[in-house]
A and B are shown apart, each in its own frame.
Chain A
Amino acid sequence: MIPSVTMASLKDKISAFSFKGILLPVFGILVFILLWQVGASRVHTSLGEFPGPVVVYQQWNSLVAEHQRERVKEDKFYVRQEVRIAERQTKDPSYVGKLRDYTGKPTFFDQIFTSLYTVLAGFGLASLIAIPLGILIGLNRSVYSALNPVIQVFKPVSPLAWLPLVTMVVSASYVSDDPMFSKSFLTSMFTVTLCCMWPTLINTAVGVAAVEKDLLNVSKVLRLGWMTHVIKIVIPSAIPLMFTGLRLSLGIAWMVLIAAEMLAQNPGLGKFVWDEFQNGSSNSLGRIMVAVLMIGFIGYLLDRVMLTIQRFVSWDKTQVLR
C-alpha cells in the first residue's frame, strides 16, 4: 500500500509533467494553426489563396492516395512482366528474361525516401572525413595552423556555389555503362558532404584540443602509446563537442540537400517542391506546404535520432542534453 502522501505528490508530479510536457506544446500548436488559418486566408496569389491547414490536410490525403495508386500500378507492371517472361520460357526454355525497373513517376513518398538516403550518405561520408581529420587537427598545433585558413575559407561557402563544380566533376569522372549509383545521387551527396563537414571538423578539433591537462598528465605518467592515448583519453573527452558538431552538421546537410535538389533537378523532396512550383496548378501551393512541413518534421526527427545516439554513447549520464 502506497502512503497517501506520496500518492498525492506523485499525482502532482504527473499532472505537472503532463501540463508542461503535453498540454503546453498542444496549446502552442493549436494557436499556431489558428494564426496560420487566419493569416493564410488573407494572402492571395495567382494560384489562389495561400494554403491553410485544411487545404494542406486535403493535399496530404491526395498525396497518400496517389502513392497508393502508383504502388498498385507498379505491382501490376511487374506481374505483367513476369507473366510475359514465363510465357516465352514455356515456348523457348533457353530464354532468360530480364525484369525492367518500373518507369512510373516517383511519388511524394518516393522522393522522401530518396532525400533521406542521400542525406544520410552525404552526412556519413562527411563524418568519416571530418572526425579523423578533426582529431588530427586538435592533437597537433602545426596541422591546425596549416589547415585553419583553408577550413575558414571553405566553411561559409553556399551549396549553390559548389553544385555546378560537383556536377561537372561527377559527370566527367564517374563514367560507367552500368552505374551502381546514379549521377544525380552522387552530385547531391558530394554537395551535402562538402557543405556539412565543417561543424563536425571544427567541434571535434576544439574538443580534442580541450582535453583536461590533468588527464594529459596521467597519460604522460603512464607513457600511453599514441593510439591508446587517443582511444582512451582524447576521444572520450571530445565526445560531447563532437556530437554538438555532428548535430549541427546533420541539420546543415538536410537544408543543403533540399536546396541542391531544387537547383540541380536531382530526385528528392527539393525536386518535388520545384516540380509543383513549375506545375502551377491550384493544388500546387498546398502540396508545397505539405512538403515544407514534411521537411521540417524529418529534420526534427534526424536531430532526435542523433540525440538518442549521443545519449547512448555519452559517458556523462548527468549531462542535460536537449
Chain B
Amino acid sequence: MATHLDISHISIEFPTPKGPFKALDNVSLKIERGEFVSLIGHSGCGKSTVLNIVAGLYDATEGGILLDGREVKGPGPERAVVFQNHSLLPWLTSYQNVELAVKQVFRKTKSKKEMHDWIMHNLELVHMTHAADKRPDEISGGMKQRVGIARALAMEPSVLLMDEPFGALDALTRAHLQDSLMEIQKDLNNTVIMITHDVDEAVLLSDRIVMMTNGPEATVGEILHVDLERPRDRLALANDPRYVDYRTQVLTFLYEKQRKVEPIQAAAKSKKTAPSVKVANA
C-alpha cells in the first residue's frame, strides 16, 4: 500500500536581515492511514514549522508533501488544524464556529438538515452540545479547545494536525481531553500528527514518537514505536515497565543526546514556554 502521507525531504529557509536562516533540514517522514504520530523536541526546534508546512501555511524551500500520492500546495480543510490557543472566532457561538467549517466543506454535498446533524454530531463527540449556543468567552479554556477539535473533526480531514493542542491547559483538564481524544480516535481512526512538549502525552497517545534534533537545521533525530495495546489507561500504564521504558527513552533523547545548552536568559524564557516538560520526574 502506498504511503498515506509522505513528508519528503523538506527543508525551509527564512529570510532574515543577516541572511537566510535554515530552520529545517531534510525532514522525511512517512505516515500510514490511521496512525497517530507525535513530534517532540525542545522549543524552537521547528516542530511547529513542520506542521505548518504540512498544513500548507508555509511553503518548503526544498522537498514537498504527498498526500495519497498527490503533492499538496497551500492550506485546505482535508488537512484540518487544531491550533494551540483554540483560534475560535470570538463573535460566533460554538455551534456557529463549527458551522462555518461545515458550510465551507459540505455546502455542495449535504442538505441543511444533514449539516445541522453533522454539526451536532461533532459537538457530541467532544461532549459540548450543552454549550452549543455559548460564545468562546463564556466557556472555559478546555471547553474552547474541545470546540476547536470538533471544528477540525467536522471537516472530515484526511490528516488531523494538532499544534500543542493541550499546551495551554492545566494538568487535570489536559488529562481529561487526552482521554476524550483517545476515545474519539478509537471510533474515527483518524491520521493524526500532534506536536507536544509533554513526554507523557506523547507516549500515552502515539503509535510513533518522532524526536527532533535542536535547530537550526533541525531534522528527525530518532523515531520510537510505541507498542502498547489500546485502549490505553493512564493509571494502569503508570506502573507498566514498557511505558516507563518508552518514557525513559524519550527523556534520554531530550536531556542527554539533545541536551539544550542555552544562555541563562534564554533558558528562563524557554521554561516559560515549555512548562509541561516535567524534568523533576525524570
Which A residues are within 8 Å of any B CB, using their own CB? 212, 214-215, 217-218, 220-224, 228, 232-233, 236-237, 315-316, 318
Number of interface residues, chain B, beta carbon within 8 A: 24
Are the CB atoms of A214 and B83 closer together than 8 Å? Answer: yes
Report whether A222 and B87 are in contact in the complex, using a CB–CB cutoff of 8 Å.
no
Question: What's the least CB distance linking B95 to chain A, in Å?
Answer: 14
Q: Residue of B at shortest CB range from A214?
A: B87
Chain B residues within an 8 Å CB radius of A215: 87, 89
CB closest residue in chain B, given A235 = B91
| A218–B104 CA distance with the chains assembled, in angstroms | 12
**Assuming the A-B contacts A236-B91, A315-B90, A316-B90, are A220 and B57 also in contact, with contact meaning beta carbons closer than 8 angstroms in the complex?**
yes
Chain B, 184-242, CB within 8 A of any chain A CB? none
Q: Using CB atoms, name the residue of chain A closest to B152.
A: A221
Contact of B81 among A212, A221, A228, A232 (CB under 8 A): A221
Residues in A with CB closer than 8 Å to B55 are 217, 221
Q: Which residues of A contact B75 (CB under 8 A)?
A: 217, 220-221, 223
CB distance from A315 to the nearest CB of B (A): 3
Residue interface mask B80-110, A partner, CB < 8 A = 1:
1101010101111000000011001100000
B89 touches A221 (CB 8 A): no
A–B complex contacts, Cβ < 8 Å, 23 sampled: A212-B87, A217-B55, A217-B75, A217-B81, A218-B87, A220-B56, A220-B57, A221-B55, A221-B56, A221-B57, A221-B79, A221-B80, A221-B81, A222-B100, A223-B75, A223-B104, A232-B100, A236-B89, A236-B91, A315-B91, A315-B135, A316-B91, A316-B137
Interface SS, A side:
helix
B77 part of interface (Cβ distance < 8 Å): yes
Q: Which residues of A contact B92 (CB under 8 A)?
A: 232
List chain A residues, Cβ under 8 A from B76.
Answer: 221, 223
Query: A223-B76, A315-B90 are known contacts; what are 5 more A-B pairs with Cβ within 8 Å?
Result: A215-B87, A221-B55, A222-B101, A223-B77, A236-B89
Q: Looking at the complex, which one of B77, B85, B137 makes contact with A221 (CB distance below 8 Å)?
A: B77
5 nearest A-B pairs in the assembled complex, by CB-CB distance:
A315-B91, A214-B87, A220-B75, A236-B91, A221-B75
How far, in Å, is B253 (CB) from chain A's closest CB?
30
CA A315 – CA B137 in complex, angstroms? Answer: 10
Question: Least Cβ distance of B93 to chain A in Å?
Answer: 10
- CB neighbours (8 Å) of B135 from chain A are 315
Shortest A15–chain B CB gap in Å is 32
Q: Given the complex, which residues of A lie within 8 Å of B105, measured CB to CB?
A: 222
Tell me which residues across on chain B come within 8 A of A318, comparing CB atoms.
137
A218 touches B89 (CB 8 A): yes
A225 (CB) vs chain B CBs: closest residue: B104
- How many angstroms between the C-alpha atoms of A236 and B89 in the bound complex? 9
Contacts of B85 in A (CB 8 A): 214
B50-70 vs A, Cβ < 8 Å mask (1 yes, 0 no)? 000001110000000000000
Distance of A217 Cα from B85 Cα, bound (Å): 12
Instruction: For the complex formed, measure the closest distance between the CB of B149 and the CB atoms of chain A, giving whole angstroms.
Output: 14
Within 8 A of A (CB), among B23-75: 55-57, 74-75
Cβ-defined contact, B104 with A233, below 8 A: no
Contacting residue for A217 out of B77, B83, B101, CB 8 A: B83
Tell me the minimal C-beta distance from A160 to chain B in angstroms: 41
Q: Which residues of A contact B83 (CB under 8 A)?
A: 214, 217-218
> Would A233 and B89 count as touching, CB distance under 8 A?
yes
Per-position binary interface string of chain B over residues 133-162, scored 1 when its CB falls under 8 Å from any chain A CB and 0 otherwise: 001010000000000000000010000000
- Given A223-B75, A223-B76, A223-B77, do A217 and B87 touch, yes or no (CB 8 Å)? yes
User: Chain B nearest CB: distance from A311 CB in Å?
Assistant: 14
Please, which residue of chain A has its CB at the minimum distance from the CB of B101? A222
Query: Looking across the interface, which residue of chain B has its beta carbon closest to that of A318?
Result: B137
Complex: A212 Cα to B135 Cα, angstroms = 18
The smallest beta-carbon distance between A316 and chain B, in angstroms, is: 7
Chain A residue with the shortest CB-CB distance to B88: A218
Residues in chain B near residue A223, CB distance under 8 A = 75-77, 104
Measured CA separation A280–B83 after assembly (Å):
71
CA distance A220 to B73 in the complex (A): 12
Most buried by B among A221, A224, A228: A221
Chain A residue, CB-CB nearest to B91: A315
CA distance A12 to B56 in the complex (A): 58
Q: How far is the CA of A236 from the CA of B90 in the complex (A)?
A: 9
- The complex places the Cα of A315 from the Cα of B88 at a distance, in Å, of 13
A224 and B137 alpha carbons, distance in the complex (Å): 24
Distance in angstroms from A113 CB to nearest chain B CB is 37
Contact B89 A222 (CB under 8 A): no
Interface residues of B in 100-136 (CB under 8 A from A): 100-101, 104-105, 135
A233 to B96 Cα, complex, angstroms: 13
A217 and B57 contact, CB distance less than 8 A:
yes
Interchain nearest-CB distance for A232 vs B (Å): 6
B92 to chain A, nearest CB (A): 8
Q: How far is the CB of B52 from chain A (nearest CB, A)?
A: 9
